[in-house]
Structures are given as C-alpha cells and as structure tokens.
Amino acid sequence: MTIAAIIVAAGKGERAGASLPKQFVTVGGKTLLAHAVTALARHPRIERTVVVVAEGQKELAAHALGDILVDAIVIGGAERQQSVAAGMAAIGDARIVLIHDAARPFLPSSVVDRLIAALDTADGAIPALSVVDTLAKAGEELGDVVDRNGLIRVQTPQAFRAHAIRDAHNRWTGTAATDDAQMARAAGYQVAVVEGHAMLEKITQPADFAEAERKWNQRFISRTGLGYDVHRLAAGEDLWLCGLKIDHEKGLAGHSDADVALHALTDALLGALADGDIGTHFPPSDPQWRGAASHRFVEHAATLIRQAGGVIDHVDVTIICEAPKIGPHRDAMRSAVARMLAVPIKKVSIKATTTERLGFTGRGEGIAAQAAATIRLPEEE
Ligand code: CTP
Ligand code: MG
C-alpha cells in the first residue's frame, strides 16, 4: 500500500517578513523546506514525496533540496487548498497521503508513525496539542475568556486515505480552508486526533525563526570520544602523520600507511558515535586496507557521524614523539585534517609532546598519538 507525502511550500510567507518566502530561509544549516522534506522522505513508510512550490520557484526549491530526492516538484496555487490539490494530482495511485506544511520544519518520525497507525480505523488523522494558556477574545481591550477545555491546536502533517481527501476537496464549497482535515470532516469523513509535538510548531512570525533555531540546537546532545594508537618506527618506511608525508630518517610500520595520528583520530570519532573502533570498521585481516591511506578511515568516520544527523564540533590530536618536530607542520596538518572532516580549520587542534626521552617514545622506538573528538548527535525522538 503506497504512502505518499505532499509538502506544500507555495506560500508567500508574508507574516514572517523575511526577504524570501519563509520555506527558503535557513535554520539549523538547512532551509525549512529541506528539513520538512527530509523528515518525510527518510521515513521508512513513505515511498513517494511531492513538493509544491509557487510559480517561478522550482529552481529555488531544487537548490534548497540539494541532493534530497523527491518524486516531483509541482506548481501550487494562490490558496493553500489549491496547492494541496496540485500536490494530490501528482501522487499517482498512492492509497494514503500525508499533507504537510514546509513551514513546520521539524517533524519527529514518531508523529508520522502515530498518524499512519490511526488510519487503520479512521479516514483521516491529525496531530494536535492541547491548549494550556488562558484564551480570551481581544479587541482594543480584553474581552471574554473562552473556555479552553476541549480545544486543541491542530498541526500538520495530516494523514488521509487518498480517496477520502480527494473526495473532500472535490466537494468543498466553503471559503479557502487553512487545513485539509476540516474539508474531510465537512464531507462526512472521520478524522482521528493523535498526539502532536512541540517541535512541529509552525513558523509564522519573524520571531519564530530564532525560536526554531533554539529548538533545533536543543535536539542535540554533545558526545566525546577518545582515541589512542602506537606504531613502531622503522628504517625504510615512509612517515605519515595527519595525512602528510614528513621527511624523516625513519617511518612508521603498520598494515595501512600507519598514520598513527589519524588512527587515534578515527577511534576518537567512532568512540563519540559509540560505534566500535577502527579495527571493527577496517579489519587488519582484510587485504584491501594494506597500505591504505588513513585519511579514508577518518573520512568514513566523519561520514557515519553525518549520516546519523550529527555535527563535528572539535577535534584535538596529540602526537607523542621526540622527533620529528611537529611545530613546523602543524598548520598544514590542521588544514589536511579539516579537509578530511569537512570542518573549518579552527575546529582542529594538533599538539605534540615529548616524553623526556623516557619510554618507547623517548627512545625513538615508536610514535604514539592521542585524540579527542567532540560531536553533537540528535536525540532519539
Ligand atoms: N502554502 C501553499 N500555497 C499557498 C499558501 C500557503 O503551499 N497558496 C503553504 C505555505 O508555503 C506553508 C503552509 O502552506 O508551508 C502553511 O501556510 P502559511 O503558514 O499561511 O504560509 P504562508 O501562506 O506562506 O504565510 P503567510 O500566510 O504569512 O503569507
Ligand atoms: Mg498563509
């Protein structure tokens, strides 16, 4: 049973007062549109996504979406209701459709689960929150209090059996409807109410952008990982440190290029993710890693963090050896590591220390490295 999602983004966003329609404004590093579409497109139950934009904004939308795949981008109308209708014409034979506002960028997958489950027994389902503030009529001055008991705040996405919402749209004769559930109800369909979410609040007024940014940042929890590695120094080997080949009388021996600093860093990144260590991802028994350039390990760990929706905040590497001197290479090393992680150089620290000629590092038998990585990962919804 195909489930489709329509994201309506054809409004002008007049009340938000931004220079662009609000769906193209960036919050948390992505446009509202990209957030809303990603949440639906990556949900395992949703197989088709249709984005509705205003005339002349297809390119803006395609740019905002970047590499997020959608099935169609279609042109909406002057009223939201017309934009939804345009989306519905593009969902093909989908049996269930979720209709969502791009102006509600943060959609927890649990809400989508609840909506789809509710359609087992209802024609439609909406997410809603209770009203906690006192409600009153207002004009020039305070008017009568309105009983908030039994009132709810209706959010999107709103989920429907596709035939029901098509029929409801066809039969609607009222003035422009601001959501679809009221049309479904007017046509006699039963609409269930499921628990909404504070993250789903709509962006309407200028101040809502800052509030959304705050909410976005609050989703993340900070995590730290540590890494440590040692490789033996031997004649006739190349010396790779932090992705640079350094001129030195000896080099590091190992299965890969033996870049001890990048190995410690990879383990720090994987540690912050709590996802095993370099050996579980790149087993030394696997011949494909023989002589491998270690930047690949770092890049892989960084990709895993991004795939988990995470952000790399900072890394700090300490190289422990008597020689070579690291100072002259520090900035080149920082740039190389920043490139691997796709972060600005100011988020990369490289330090070095000797061990006062004590121990294996002091005797020049090997080089050790330590690393710490601080990342942020989105909390489970
Ligand atoms: N929408 C739409 N087509 C319209 C009007 C609205 O697709 N003709 C979409 C908006 O892009 C938004 C959602 O419907 O994602 C909810 O509408 P609203 O918050 O009112 O957005 P705007 O109409 O853009 O804002 P405003 O009313 O302040 O101009
Ligand atoms: Mg509007």
CA of residue 208 to ligand 1 center, whole Å? 15
Among the three residues 218, 250, 276, which one is the final residue of a domain in this structure? 218
**Residues 184 and 266 reside in one and the same domain:** no
Cβ of residue 180 lying under 6 Å from some atom of ligand 1? no
Is residue 154 very low, low, confident or very high in pLDDT (cuts 50, 70, 90)? very high
| pLDDT in the model for residue 328 | 97
Average pLDDT over residues 148-171: 96
CA of residue 13 to ligand 2 center, whole Å? 7
**Residues 26 and 83 reside in one and the same domain:** yes
DSSP conformation letters of 134-148? -EEEESSSEEEEE--
Q: How far apart are CA 172 and CA 186, in angstroms?
A: 8
Residue 381, pLDDT > 80, answer no
Average pLDDT value for the chain:
96
Which candidate, 177, 45, 51, 161, places its Cα nearest to that of 111? Answer: 45
**Residues 270 and 330 reside in one and the same domain:** yes
Residue 7, pLDDT > 70, answer yes
Average pLDDT over residues 330-349: 98
**Residues 43 and 191 reside in one and the same domain:** yes
**Residues 325 and 359 reside in one and the same domain:** yes
CB–CB of 268/225 below 8 Å? Answer: yes
pTM exceeding 0.85: no
Is residue 340 very low, low, confident or very high in pLDDT (cuts 50, 70, 90)? very high
Q: What percent of the chain has pLDDT over 90?
A: 91
Residue 161, pLDDT > 90, answer yes
**Residues 192 and 53 reside in one and the same domain:** yes
Q: Quick one: which ligand is closest to 24's CA?
A: 1
Is residue 379 very low, low, confident or very high in pLDDT (cuts 50, 70, 90)? confident
**Residues 146 and 243 reside in one and the same domain:** no
Beta bridge partners of 239: 246
Residue 42, pLDDT > 80, answer yes
Q: How far apart are CA 114 and CA 111, in angstroms?
A: 5
What pLDDT, in 10s, does the model give residues 66-113?
Answer: 989 999 999 999 999 999 999 999 999 999 999 999 999 999 999 999
What is the count of structural domains for the chain?
2
What pLDDT, in 10s, does the model give residues 181-224?
Answer: 999 999 999 999 999 999 999 999 999 999 999 999 988 999 99
Residue 176, pLDDT > 90, answer no
Average pLDDT over residues 169-192: 94
What pLDDT, in 10s, does the model give residues 240-268?
Answer: 999 999 999 999 999 899 999 999 999 99
**Residues 374 and 268 reside in one and the same domain:** yes
Is residue 331 very low, low, confident or very high in pLDDT (cuts 50, 70, 90)? very high
Environment of ion ligand 2 (residues, CB < 5 A): 11
Cβ of residue 208 lying under 6 Å from some atom of ligand 1? no
Q: What is the CATH number of the domain that holds 342?
A: 3.30.1330.50
**Residues 110 and 16 reside in one and the same domain:** yes
Among the three residues 218, 252, 280, which one is the final residue of a domain in this structure? 218
CA of residue 204 to ligand 2 center, whole Å? 9
Q: What is the CATH number of the domain that holds 130?
A: 3.90.550.10
CA of residue 9 to ligand 1 center, whole Å? 7
**Residues 35 and 166 reside in one and the same domain:** yes
Residue nearest to atom 1 of ligand 1 (CA): 11
| pLDDT in the model for residue 150 | 87
CB–CB of 281/298 below 8 Å? Answer: no
| pLDDT in the model for residue 63 | 96
Which candidate, 75, 96, 242, places its Cα nearest to that of 162? Answer: 96
Average pLDDT over residues 229-236: 97
Q: How far apart are CA 257 and CA 251, in angstroms?
A: 10
HSE (side-chain half, CA atoms, 13 Å) at 78: 2
Q: Which tokens sit at 105?
A: 């960028």
Cβ of residue 202 lying under 6 Å from some atom of ligand 1? yes
Residue 380, pLDDT > 80, answer no
CB–CB of 212/364 below 8 Å? Answer: no
Cis peptide before 324 (omega within 30 of 0): yes
Among the three residues 184, 218, 252, which one is the final residue of a domain in this structure? 218
**Residues 200 and 281 reside in one and the same domain:** no
CB–CB of 217/379 below 8 Å? Answer: no
For residue 200, give its domain range: 3-218
DSSP-derived secondary structure letter, 377: E
